Amino acid sequence: LSESGVPQLVQPMIWDYAADLDVEGKVHLIEKYRRCGFSKVWFASAFKGATGVNQSLTLIGHHLKNHLQWLNVASNSPTDVLEGIALTGWQRYDHFSVLCELLPVSIPSLAVCLQALKNGGYSEKIKENVERLLGISNLETDTFMR
């Protein structure tokens, strides 16, 4: 791979939407990419979709945990390796599937995930900020929003 010249032409993207992604495994994967000559990598997460083909509501806590795990991967990797994170929002699993969560029901999840990434973590203060920004009184991350 190193001799092919590909590492000078592209940057790999590591996709994982799990709430309990393997941080150590991802760090080792990044190290392998570095040894092959890739100077930068991207991460890919999801703020909606990716939890079930016919999911209609967004479980914010799942997506928040995923983003917090990606922040752990970033903090355990060389500081100059991360080029960015692609925050995806799945609409359907393939062109023959029904739609999964629509954007309006997943906006609280998007707001939580963006704030967690922007602030490098999640806290009660960040939760209160998201509630204020969205105009809601009780942001529920461990159950479905009502």
The C-alpha torsion from 15 through 100 and 55 to 13, rounded to 10°, is 0
Residue 121: phi and psi, rounded to 5, are 165, -170
Q: How confident is the model at residue 135 (pLDDT cuts 50, 70, 90)?
A: very high
pLDDT at position 87: 96
pLDDT tens digits, residue range 35-87? 999 999 999 999 998 888 888 889 999 999 999 999 999 999 998 999 999 99
Position 146 pLDDT exceeds 70: no
Q: How confident is the model at residue 8 (pLDDT cuts 50, 70, 90)?
A: very high
Name the DSSP letter for residue 77. Answer: S
Superfamily of chain region 13-134: Glycosidases (3.20.20.80)
Give the residue-averaged pLDDT of 85-113: 91
Domain boundaries, the chain: 13-134
Encode burial over 24-49: b for 16+ CB neighbours within 10 A, e otherwise.
eebbebbeebbeeebeebebebbbbb
